[in-house]
Amino acid sequence: MGRAPCCDKANVKKGPWSPEEDTKLKDYIEQHGTGGNWIALPQKVGLRRCGKSCRLRWLNYLRPNIKHGQFSDAEDKIICSLFAGIGSRWSIIASQLPGRTDNDIKNYWNTKLKKKMMAMNSSPERKPHQVSLLSILQSSTSSSPLSFRDSNNNSYCHPHGSFSGSLSSLLSGNNSSASADSFFQAQESFMDPNCQFKDSSSNMHVCVVGGEATATSCSSSDASCNNQISHVM
DNA sequence: AAATTGCTCAACCGCGATGGC
DNA sequence: GGCCATCGCGGTTGAGCAATT
């Protein structure tokens, strides 16, 4: 038995949204709010759509102050920096770029920035995974480390010095091997040789020495992050 | 001009987290 | 503490468009 579907697939419309549907949803939410229940929303609005679909449409397209189109150099740099620090946590990255959605950033990274990185990494004088992210950042962040806060008000600093925040929450739980890989690959390419993270929520320090470290604990179920980082109380 | 290939991005899917009962 | 409904996230897909052959 699989997971129960979130809605009645047979009676739900899929695919691109029409302008009429957009208008209905936008008008309703602007007047009544979401009511804290996306699943019930389509019925109230009179749409044959899945609640999840409505939520996505609102968050990624209809919400006020959404920015579409070209990413600026500054945004590029922020995305690269955060990706190097926290990996593919698009929602956290998006929270640092007003008007941008996690979906937007994810798409932008996958289609453009990632290629840019790879192109730079393949240049002959550079070893793979080395420096490319840093080079992108250098122009704007050399004078002061980049820092930001996530939605829980945890602070993060670009690792010219330290990184603080809820690192345990980033590393624990269901890190897929892909995201963990990218996280550590990025760390490897980006870190100063002896870099230290501090997790503000657990007050743990995480040391990464020379781009490689050893792990003594990891809650990831697939053990993909074993032997990569050590937690020092 | 037609066919093919590549790219972009909106939307979908499935899963873990969370909160209420 | 267990169950269930819902939310939110990250990965993936595929339609539509643009560029190339």
pLDDT for the residue numbered A35: 83
Instruction: Please give the average pLDDT of every successive group of 10 residues along chain A, which has 233 residues.
Output: 60 87 91 87 90 91 85 88 87 89 90 78 48 46 45 48 37 35 41 38 36 32 32 29
Spatial neighbors of A190 by CB under 8 A, at least 6 apart, are: A84, A85, A133, A134, A159
Same domain? A36 vs A135 = no
In a domain, A213, yes or no: yes
pLDDT for A5 equals: 61
DSSP conformational letter for A17:
P
Write down which residues 172-211 in A have CB closer than 7 A to strand B: 173-174
Nucleotide nearest to A56 (CA to C1'): B11
A17 touches strand B (CB under 7 A): yes
Count of domains forming chain A: 2
Which pLDDT score, from 0 to 100, does residue A13 have?
A: 87
What is the pLDDT, as a whole number, of residue A3?
52
Mark whether A180 and A160 lie in a shared domain. Answer: yes
Work out if A130's Cβ lies within 7 angstroms of strand B.
no
* Residue A221 forms part of a structural domain: yes
3-state per-residue secondary structure call for A118-176: HHHHCCCCCCCCCCHHHHHHHHHHCCCCCEEECCCCCEEECCCCEEEECHHHHHCCCCC
Tokens of A105: 């950033």
Q: Please name the nucleotide lying closest to A51, CA to C1'.
A: C6
Q: What is the pLDDT of residue A189?
A: 41
Whether A222 and A131 share a structural domain: yes
- pLDDT score for A128: 38
Q: Residue A114's pLDDT is what?
A: 80
The pLDDT of residue A121 is 64
In this structure, the answer to whether residues A93 and A121 fall within a common structural domain is yes
Task: Give the distance, in angstroms, between residue A221 CA and nucleotide C21 C1'.
Answer: 49
| Res A225: pLDDT | 33
| Interatomic distance A108 CA / C7 C1' (Å) | 25
Residues 39-58 of chain A in contact with strand C via CB under 7 angstroms: 39-40, 51-52, 55
Pair of tokens at residue A185: 């690959």
